[in-house]
Protein backbone atom coordinates (compact mmCIF):
# COMPACT_ATOMS: atom_id res chain seq x y z
CA UNK A 1 0.00 0.00 0.00
CA UNK A 2 1.00 3.62 -0.60
CA UNK A 3 0.31 5.95 2.29
CA UNK A 4 -0.73 9.57 1.58
CA UNK A 5 -1.00 12.31 4.19
CA UNK A 6 -3.14 15.38 3.39
CA UNK A 7 -3.26 18.64 5.37
CA UNK A 8 -6.45 20.62 4.71
CA UNK A 9 -8.49 17.46 4.07
CA UNK A 10 -11.74 19.12 5.23
CA UNK A 11 -11.36 21.83 2.56
CA UNK A 12 -12.51 21.85 -1.06
CA UNK A 13 -9.30 20.41 -2.57
CA UNK A 14 -8.59 18.05 0.31
CA UNK A 15 -11.95 16.35 -0.18
CA UNK A 16 -11.47 15.91 -3.94
CA UNK A 17 -7.89 14.70 -3.50
CA UNK A 18 -8.92 12.18 -0.82
CA UNK A 19 -11.65 10.85 -3.15
CA UNK A 20 -9.23 10.69 -6.07
CA UNK A 21 -6.58 8.76 -4.10
CA UNK A 22 -9.09 6.42 -2.46
CA UNK A 23 -10.29 5.62 -5.99
CA UNK A 24 -6.90 3.94 -6.43
CA UNK A 25 -6.93 0.64 -4.50
CA UNK A 26 -3.23 0.89 -3.64
CA UNK A 27 -3.70 4.07 -1.51
CA UNK A 28 -4.35 4.53 2.18
CA UNK A 29 -5.32 8.15 2.91
CA UNK A 30 -4.63 9.98 6.17
CA UNK A 31 -5.94 13.50 6.76
CA UNK A 32 -5.09 16.10 9.38
CA UNK A 33 -8.02 17.82 11.09
CA UNK A 34 -8.25 20.64 13.60
CA UNK A 35 -10.41 20.62 16.65
CA UNK A 36 -13.45 22.91 16.20
CA UNK A 37 -16.44 23.59 18.42
CA UNK A 38 -18.82 22.19 15.83
CA UNK A 39 -18.11 19.53 13.21
CA UNK A 40 -16.95 20.80 9.82
CA UNK A 41 -16.44 17.57 7.94
CA UNK A 42 -19.36 17.79 5.52
CA UNK A 43 -17.06 17.52 2.50
CA UNK A 44 -15.54 14.20 3.60
CA UNK A 45 -18.34 12.58 5.61
CA UNK A 46 -19.41 10.47 2.62
CA UNK A 47 -16.00 8.77 2.61
CA UNK A 48 -16.95 7.11 5.91
CA UNK A 49 -20.03 5.66 4.16
CA UNK A 50 -21.13 2.07 3.63
CA UNK A 51 -18.28 1.06 1.31
CA UNK A 52 -15.77 -0.83 3.58
CA UNK A 53 -13.04 -0.90 0.92
CA UNK A 54 -12.97 2.93 1.11
CA UNK A 55 -13.76 3.45 4.79
CA UNK A 56 -11.00 1.12 5.96
CA UNK A 57 -8.36 3.00 3.98
CA UNK A 58 -9.38 6.46 5.26
CA UNK A 59 -8.15 7.88 8.59
CA UNK A 60 -8.17 11.28 10.34
CA UNK A 61 -5.70 12.63 12.91
CA UNK A 62 -5.68 15.81 14.97
CA UNK A 63 -2.84 18.22 14.15
CA UNK A 64 -2.38 21.87 13.22
CA UNK A 65 0.03 23.68 10.90
CA UNK A 66 0.61 26.13 13.75
CA UNK A 67 1.83 23.32 16.01
CA UNK A 68 5.18 21.82 14.93
CA UNK A 69 5.08 19.09 17.58
CA UNK A 70 1.76 17.74 16.29
CA UNK A 71 3.15 17.62 12.73
CA UNK A 72 6.34 15.85 13.80
CA UNK A 73 4.33 13.36 15.87
CA UNK A 74 1.99 12.46 13.01
CA UNK A 75 4.89 12.18 10.56
CA UNK A 76 6.81 9.80 12.83
CA UNK A 77 3.76 7.68 13.55
CA UNK A 78 2.46 7.39 10.01
CA UNK A 79 5.68 7.53 7.96
CA UNK A 80 3.76 8.48 4.76
CA UNK A 81 5.05 8.01 1.20
CA UNK A 82 3.38 11.19 -0.09
CA UNK A 83 2.54 14.40 1.77
CA UNK A 84 0.13 16.96 0.26
CA UNK A 85 0.17 20.34 2.02
CA UNK A 86 -3.26 21.85 1.27
CA UNK A 87 -3.98 23.38 4.68
CA UNK A 88 -4.20 27.19 4.78
CA UNK A 89 -6.06 30.30 5.84
CA UNK A 90 -6.94 30.54 2.17
CA UNK A 91 -9.11 33.67 1.97
CA UNK A 92 -7.27 36.62 0.40
CA UNK A 93 -9.61 39.33 1.79
CA UNK A 94 -9.42 37.85 5.30
CA UNK A 95 -5.61 37.85 5.12
CA UNK A 96 -5.70 41.68 5.23
CA UNK A 97 -7.57 41.45 8.55
CA UNK A 98 -5.40 38.64 9.96
CA UNK A 99 -1.97 39.08 8.34
CA UNK A 100 0.13 37.57 11.14
CA UNK A 101 -2.10 34.55 11.59
CA UNK A 102 -2.12 34.01 7.82
CA UNK A 103 1.67 34.28 7.63
CA UNK A 104 2.00 31.83 10.51
CA UNK A 105 -0.25 29.11 9.09
CA UNK A 106 0.42 29.58 5.37
CA UNK A 107 4.11 30.55 5.46
CA UNK A 108 5.66 29.14 8.64
CA UNK A 109 3.16 26.26 8.64
CA UNK A 110 4.68 25.06 5.36
CA UNK A 111 8.17 25.32 6.85
CA UNK A 112 7.09 23.36 9.95
CA UNK A 113 5.73 20.60 7.73
CA UNK A 114 8.83 20.62 5.50
CA UNK A 115 11.02 20.17 8.58
CA UNK A 116 8.97 17.15 9.65
CA UNK A 117 9.22 15.74 6.11
CA UNK A 118 12.98 16.37 6.01
CA UNK A 119 13.45 14.35 9.21
CA UNK A 120 11.34 11.51 7.83
CA UNK A 121 13.31 11.57 4.57
CA UNK A 122 16.46 10.64 6.51
CA UNK A 123 15.03 7.14 7.00
CA UNK A 124 12.68 6.56 4.02
CA UNK A 125 11.75 8.08 0.64
CA UNK A 126 8.95 10.64 0.88
CA UNK A 127 7.43 13.01 -1.70
CA UNK A 128 6.03 16.44 -0.85
CA UNK A 129 3.44 18.59 -2.66
CA UNK A 130 3.01 22.28 -1.82
CA UNK A 131 -0.25 24.08 -2.70
CA UNK A 132 1.16 27.29 -4.18
CA UNK A 133 -1.06 29.89 -5.78
CA UNK A 134 -1.48 32.13 -8.81
CA UNK A 135 -1.93 34.92 -6.24
CA UNK A 136 1.89 34.91 -6.03
CA UNK A 137 1.92 36.51 -9.53
CA UNK A 138 -0.29 39.35 -8.25
CA UNK A 139 0.24 42.34 -10.51
CA UNK A 140 2.50 40.59 -13.05
CA UNK A 141 1.16 41.05 -16.59
CA UNK A 142 -0.78 38.11 -18.09
CA UNK A 143 -0.28 35.43 -19.24
CA UNK A 144 1.57 34.16 -16.14
CA UNK A 145 3.75 31.06 -16.53
CA UNK A 146 6.76 29.35 -14.91
CA UNK A 147 9.12 32.18 -15.95
CA UNK A 148 6.92 35.11 -14.88
CA UNK A 149 8.38 37.08 -11.92
CA UNK A 150 6.23 37.06 -8.79
CA UNK A 151 4.65 40.26 -7.43
CA UNK A 152 2.32 39.35 -4.52
CA UNK A 153 -0.48 41.77 -3.57
CA UNK A 154 -1.80 40.48 -0.23
CA UNK A 155 -0.55 39.04 3.07
CA UNK A 156 -1.88 35.67 1.84
CA UNK A 157 0.12 35.89 -1.40
CA UNK A 158 3.30 36.91 0.45
CA UNK A 159 2.89 33.96 2.82
CA UNK A 160 2.31 31.57 -0.11
CA UNK A 161 5.44 32.91 -1.79
CA UNK A 162 7.43 32.15 1.37
CA UNK A 163 6.07 28.58 1.38
CA UNK A 164 6.86 28.26 -2.32
CA UNK A 165 10.50 29.32 -1.95
CA UNK A 166 10.98 27.14 1.13
CA UNK A 167 9.72 24.19 -0.92
CA UNK A 168 12.16 25.01 -3.74
CA UNK A 169 14.97 25.46 -1.21
CA UNK A 170 14.31 22.15 0.57
CA UNK A 171 14.49 20.44 -2.83
CA UNK A 172 17.80 22.11 -3.66
CA UNK A 173 19.39 22.01 -0.19
CA UNK A 174 18.32 18.54 0.99
CA UNK A 175 17.56 16.81 -2.30
CA UNK A 176 13.98 16.37 -1.11
CA UNK A 177 11.38 15.23 -3.64
CA UNK A 178 9.37 18.45 -3.24
CA UNK A 179 7.04 19.96 -5.87
CA UNK A 180 5.21 23.25 -5.87
CA UNK A 181 1.99 23.39 -7.87
CA UNK A 182 1.14 26.96 -8.82
CA UNK A 183 -2.58 26.50 -9.22
CA UNK A 184 -4.89 29.14 -10.63
CA UNK A 185 -8.39 29.54 -9.15
CA UNK A 186 -10.38 26.34 -9.10
CA UNK A 187 -13.98 26.02 -8.01
CA UNK A 188 -16.71 23.44 -7.54
CA UNK A 189 -20.00 22.85 -5.74
CA UNK A 190 -17.79 22.28 -2.66
CA UNK A 191 -16.16 25.73 -2.88
CA UNK A 192 -16.31 27.74 0.38
CA UNK A 193 -19.39 30.01 0.45
CA UNK A 194 -17.42 33.27 0.75
CA UNK A 195 -15.33 32.86 -2.42
CA UNK A 196 -16.76 34.82 -5.30
CA UNK A 197 -17.98 32.02 -7.60
CA UNK A 198 -19.85 30.14 -4.89
CA UNK A 199 -21.18 33.36 -3.40
CA UNK A 200 -22.67 34.12 -6.82
CA UNK A 201 -24.15 30.67 -7.53
CA UNK A 202 -25.58 30.39 -4.00
CA UNK A 203 -26.96 33.94 -4.11
CA UNK A 204 -28.47 33.73 -7.61
CA UNK A 205 -30.18 30.39 -6.99
CA UNK A 206 -31.61 31.63 -3.69
CA UNK A 207 -32.87 34.75 -5.48
CA UNK A 208 -34.48 32.51 -8.12
CA UNK A 209 -36.30 30.59 -5.38
CA UNK A 210 -37.42 33.77 -3.60
CA UNK A 211 -35.19 33.17 -0.56
CA UNK A 212 -32.99 36.26 -1.04
CA UNK A 213 -33.61 39.70 -2.59
CA UNK A 214 -30.16 40.94 -3.61
CA UNK A 215 -26.47 40.07 -3.85
CA UNK A 216 -23.89 42.51 -2.47
CA UNK A 217 -20.53 42.31 -4.24
CA UNK A 218 -17.12 43.99 -4.53
CA UNK A 219 -14.95 44.55 -7.64
CA UNK A 220 -16.69 43.06 -10.69
CA UNK A 221 -13.86 43.89 -13.10
CA UNK A 222 -11.28 41.47 -11.65
CA UNK A 223 -10.49 38.62 -14.05
CA UNK A 224 -9.63 35.08 -13.07
CA UNK A 225 -8.61 31.85 -14.79
CA UNK A 226 -11.25 29.57 -13.26
CA UNK A 227 -11.09 25.78 -13.52
CA UNK A 228 -12.75 22.80 -11.81
CA UNK A 229 -11.16 21.58 -8.55
CA UNK A 230 -11.71 17.92 -9.48
CA UNK A 231 -9.41 18.37 -12.49
CA UNK A 232 -6.75 20.20 -10.45
CA UNK A 233 -6.22 17.52 -7.77
CA UNK A 234 -5.27 15.11 -10.57
CA UNK A 235 -2.41 17.47 -11.46
CA UNK A 236 -1.18 17.44 -7.83
CA UNK A 237 -0.94 13.65 -7.87
CA UNK A 238 0.71 13.57 -11.32
CA UNK A 239 3.47 15.91 -10.06
CA UNK A 240 4.41 13.40 -7.36
CA UNK A 241 4.52 10.49 -9.83
CA UNK A 242 7.28 11.97 -12.03
CA UNK A 243 10.92 10.84 -11.98
CA UNK A 244 12.16 14.28 -10.93
CA UNK A 245 10.53 16.87 -8.66
CA UNK A 246 9.63 20.18 -10.29
CA UNK A 247 7.20 23.12 -10.14
CA UNK A 248 4.21 23.46 -12.46
CA UNK A 249 1.55 26.03 -13.35
CA UNK A 250 -1.96 24.54 -13.52
CA UNK A 251 -4.63 26.62 -15.26
CA UNK A 252 -7.21 26.55 -18.07
CA UNK A 253 -5.61 29.30 -20.19
CA UNK A 254 -8.88 31.28 -20.30
CA UNK A 255 -9.79 34.31 -18.23
CA UNK A 256 -13.22 35.76 -17.33
CA UNK A 257 -14.30 38.71 -15.21
CA UNK A 258 -16.42 38.45 -12.08
CA UNK A 259 -19.06 40.33 -14.11
CA UNK A 260 -19.03 37.56 -16.73
CA UNK A 261 -19.43 34.95 -14.01
CA UNK A 262 -22.48 36.88 -12.80
CA UNK A 263 -23.90 37.14 -16.34
CA UNK A 264 -23.47 33.42 -17.05
CA UNK A 265 -24.97 32.41 -13.70
CA UNK A 266 -28.01 34.69 -13.76
CA UNK A 267 -28.77 34.06 -17.43
CA UNK A 268 -28.80 30.32 -16.75
CA UNK A 269 -31.61 31.06 -14.31
CA UNK A 270 -33.40 33.40 -16.82
CA UNK A 271 -32.56 36.42 -14.65
CA UNK A 272 -30.66 39.67 -15.33
CA UNK A 273 -27.94 40.28 -12.73
CA UNK A 274 -28.34 44.09 -13.05
CA UNK A 275 -31.67 43.76 -11.23
CA UNK A 276 -30.15 42.14 -8.14
CA UNK A 277 -26.48 43.04 -7.66
CA UNK A 278 -25.33 45.89 -5.40
CA UNK A 279 -21.83 47.15 -4.63
CA UNK A 280 -20.22 47.52 -1.19
CA UNK A 281 -16.61 48.47 -0.42
CA UNK A 282 -16.76 45.85 2.35
CA UNK A 283 -15.91 43.30 -0.34
CA UNK A 284 -13.03 45.17 -1.99
CA UNK A 285 -9.37 44.69 -1.07
CA UNK A 286 -6.68 47.28 -0.15
CA UNK A 287 -4.68 45.99 -3.14
CA UNK A 288 -6.31 43.92 -5.87
CA UNK A 289 -5.08 41.35 -8.38
CA UNK A 290 -6.61 42.54 -11.66
CA UNK A 291 -6.01 39.80 -14.21
CA UNK A 292 -4.89 36.19 -13.85
CA UNK A 293 -4.44 34.01 -16.92
CA UNK A 294 -2.26 30.93 -16.61
CA UNK A 295 0.11 29.28 -19.06
CA UNK A 296 -0.08 25.56 -18.22
CA UNK A 297 1.87 24.33 -21.25
CA UNK A 298 4.56 22.71 -19.07
CA UNK A 299 1.93 20.70 -17.16
CA UNK A 300 0.34 19.66 -20.46
CA UNK A 301 3.63 18.58 -22.01
CA UNK A 302 5.30 16.89 -19.03
CA UNK A 303 2.35 15.62 -16.98
CA UNK A 304 -0.09 15.06 -19.83
CA UNK A 305 -2.56 17.12 -17.76
CA UNK A 306 -5.55 18.85 -19.36
CA UNK A 307 -8.53 20.64 -17.79
CA UNK A 308 -11.64 18.62 -18.66
CA UNK A 309 -14.33 21.03 -17.43
CA UNK A 310 -14.58 24.37 -19.27
CA UNK A 311 -15.99 27.69 -18.01
CA UNK A 312 -19.63 27.14 -19.12
CA UNK A 313 -19.47 23.58 -17.74
CA UNK A 314 -18.19 24.85 -14.40
CA UNK A 315 -20.91 27.51 -14.05
CA UNK A 316 -23.59 24.98 -15.02
CA UNK A 317 -22.33 22.40 -12.51
CA UNK A 318 -22.33 24.94 -9.66
CA UNK A 319 -25.70 26.47 -10.57
CA UNK A 320 -27.41 23.07 -10.83
CA UNK A 321 -26.01 22.01 -7.46
CA UNK A 322 -26.97 25.23 -5.68
CA UNK A 323 -30.43 25.39 -7.27
CA UNK A 324 -31.12 21.98 -5.76
CA UNK A 325 -29.88 23.27 -2.37
CA UNK A 326 -32.12 26.36 -2.62
CA UNK A 327 -35.14 24.19 -3.51
CA UNK A 328 -34.51 21.98 -0.49
CA UNK A 329 -34.13 25.02 1.74
CA UNK A 330 -37.44 26.36 0.46
CA UNK A 331 -39.12 22.99 0.96
CA UNK A 332 -37.76 22.79 4.51
CA UNK A 333 -39.32 26.19 5.18
CA UNK A 334 -42.69 24.73 4.14
CA UNK A 335 -43.15 26.71 0.90
CA UNK A 336 -43.96 23.82 -1.44
CA UNK A 337 -42.99 20.29 -2.40
CA UNK A 338 -39.53 19.92 -4.04
Q: Does 155 bind ligand NDP (CB under 6 A)?
A: no
Which residues form the interface with ligand GDR (CB under 6 A)?
Answer: 90, 92-93, 133-135, 185, 194-196, 199, 217-219, 222, 224, 258, 283, 285, 288-289
Given the complex with ligand GDR, which of 220 and 325 has the nearer CB atom?
220
Q: Tell me which residue of 185, 198, 231, 214 sits closest to 325, measured CA to CA.
A: 198
Q: Tell me which residue of 244, 303, 314, 233 sits closest to 24, measured CA to CA.
A: 233
Among 19, 135, 187, 209, the one annotated catalytic? 135
Given the complex with ligand NDP, which of 11 and 152 has the nearer CB atom?
11
> According to DSSP H, which parts of the chain are helical?
12-22, 52-55, 68-78, 92-97, 99-102, 109-121, 155-174, 196-208, 229-240, 258-268, 297-298, 311-332
Q: Does 90 bind ligand NDP (CB under 6 A)?
A: yes
In order of 44, 107, 262, the CA distances from 285 in angstroms are 31, 21, 19
For ligand NDP, the binding residue among 58, 75, 89, 249 (CB under 6 A) is 89
User: What is the number of residues in the chain?
Assistant: 338
DSSP code per residue over 19-40? HHHHTSTTEEEEEEE---SS--
d(CA 25, CA 40): 27
Among 15, 90, 133, 134, the one annotated catalytic? 133
Residue 248 burial (CB count, 10 A):
24
**Has 156 been annotated as catalytic?**
yes
Q: Does 203 bind ligand NDP (CB under 6 A)?
A: no
Report how far Cα 9 is from the mean position of its chain's Cα atoms.
10
Among 156, 232, 248, 273, the one annotated catalytic? 156
Q: Does 197 bind ligand NDP (CB under 6 A)?
A: no
**Has 308 been annotated as catalytic?**
no
> Could you give the string, one character per residue 41-80, with x where binding to ligand NDP holds by CB under 6 A and - elsewhere?
-----------------------xxx--------------
Q: Pick from ligand NDP, ligand GDR, none: which does 285 bind, CB < 5 to 8 A by kind?
A: ligand GDR
Q: Pick from ligand GDR, ligand NDP, none: which does 321 bind, CB < 5 to 8 A by kind?
A: none
Residue 138 and residue 288 in contact, taking contact as beta carbons nearer than 8 Å? no
Which pairing describes strands 256-257 and 223-224: parallel, antiparallel, or unpaired? antiparallel
Q: Which stretch binds ligand NDP (CB under 6 A): 30-38, 115-123, 145-153, 321-329?
A: 30-38
Q: Pick from ligand GDR, ligand NDP, none: which does 224 bind, CB < 5 to 8 A by kind?
A: ligand GDR
Q: Which stretch binds ligand NDP (CB under 6 A): 31-39, 139-147, 283-291, 327-335?
A: 31-39
**Has 133 been annotated as catalytic?**
yes
Which pairing describes strands 177-183 and 82-85: parallel, antiparallel, or unpaired? unpaired
Q: Tell me which residue of 309, 338, 328, 173 sits closest to 231, measured CA to CA.
A: 309
Q: Does 86 bind ligand NDP (CB under 6 A)?
A: yes
Least Cβ distance, residue 109 to ligand NDP (angstroms): 6
- Cα torsion through 281, 284, 288, 293, rounded to 10: -130
Residues 93-122 that bind ligand NDP (CB under 6 A): 105
Q: Annotated active-site positions, please?
A: 133, 135, 156
Using CB under 6 A, list all residues that contact ligand NDP.
Answer: 7-14, 32, 34, 36, 40, 64-66, 86-90, 105, 131, 133, 183, 185-186, 192
Amino acid sequence: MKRALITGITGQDGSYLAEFLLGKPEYEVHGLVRRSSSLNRQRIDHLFGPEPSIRERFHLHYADLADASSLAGVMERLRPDEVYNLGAQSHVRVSFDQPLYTADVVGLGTLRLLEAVRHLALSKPVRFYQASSSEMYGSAAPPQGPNTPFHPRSPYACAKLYGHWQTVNYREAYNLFACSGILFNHESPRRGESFVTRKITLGATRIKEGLQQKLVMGNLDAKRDWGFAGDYVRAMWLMLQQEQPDDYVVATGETHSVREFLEWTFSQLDLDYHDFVEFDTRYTRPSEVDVLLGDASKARERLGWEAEVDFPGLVKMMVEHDLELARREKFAMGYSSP
